[in-house]
Chain A
Amino acid sequence: MSVSFRNVNDCLVVEIEGEIDHHFVDEVKKSIDTRLMSNDVRNVVFDLKKVDFMDSAGIGMIIGRYKQTVKRGGVTSVACLSDNLKRIMMISGLYRIIKIYNSVEEAAKVL
């Protein structure tokens, strides 16, 4: 399980590898928020191409970052979802507020 960060345009790209559950989310939320504050970026893009499992804790993490970015005049989106993750986004209704992109570049271009 690992997380890496990079900046593209006005976006903090959060690339996650592994399984997103409550255990993982508790550790990673703070480090995303710290970077969001200190790097002076307004938007977050989750790059999830290396994520093969996500439960409701992941939904909570994404909605939470969405709220943080909206406060700063930005937005949170997700890129590169597996079919599994797409299903979770559908069941939860998350797709109605969070945009899904096929690539990070596409997500960053829109912003």
Chain B
Amino acid sequence: MDYDNEMTLSFRAVSANESFARVSVAAFALQLDPAVSEITEIKTAVSEAVTNSIIHAYDNSSGIVHIWCGCLQNRLYIEITDNGKGIENVNEAMEPLYTSKPEQERSGLGFTIMESFMDKMEVYSEVGKGTKVVMEKNIGQCVSNG
């Protein structure tokens, strides 16, 4: 696709970068003139995906998280990729309340929140290779329908 604009970002998979990642994507999205609530939705979805890479993919050991963003007209495209351990059963992982780490007070809501805050969310994963979360959102739609 021929995007109007694109950006990429790669950073170390450490929790201190979670806010850096979501703020950066939100800043990129500003060119689409989002409402405040849309900025929050984007930040939350990005935070969920990036945190998953840090906690689950790399198990808090070293690794790099990659983000690519694009926009075309009023649609925002986000891909968040890690080269971590991957997900064996994506459908199960995406079920609300499913978590592989209940002992760490995870509640299994990350994917549910990404799905409800974005217009489209897909997960591609291969065990031993890594995971890619693809998200899309139309910006500026909330004016007409409140």
Contacts and interface: CB of A to CB of B under 8 A. Distances in A.
A84 B117 CA distance: 11
Contact of B51 (A57, A83, A91): A57
Contacts, number: 58
Contact of A23 (B15, B106, B107, B113): B15
A13 B16 CA distance: 26
Interface stretch (A41-49, A60-68, A99-107): A60-68
Interface of B: 15-16, 18-19, 37, 40, 43-44, 47-48, 51, 54-55, 104-107, 109-110, 112-113, 116
B1 to A, nearest CB: 29
Nearest to B102: A60
Category for how many chain A residues contact B: 20 to 34
Interface of A: 19, 21-23, 26, 29, 53, 55-57, 59-61, 63-64, 83-84, 88, 91-92
B116 A21 contact: no
Contact of B44 (A26, A55, A60): A55
The list of the 7 closest CB pairs from A to B, nearest first, reads: A23-B15, A60-B105, A64-B105, A56-B109, A55-B47, A22-B51, A60-B107
A91 B41 CA distance: 12
Nearest to A63: B107
Given A53-B40, A56-B113, A84-B40, 8 more contacts: A21-B19, A21-B51, A23-B18, A53-B44, A60-B104, A84-B37, A91-B109, A92-B113
Contact of A63 (B19, B44, B47, B105): B105
A77 to B, nearest CB: 18
B54 A92 contact: no
Contacts of A19: 19
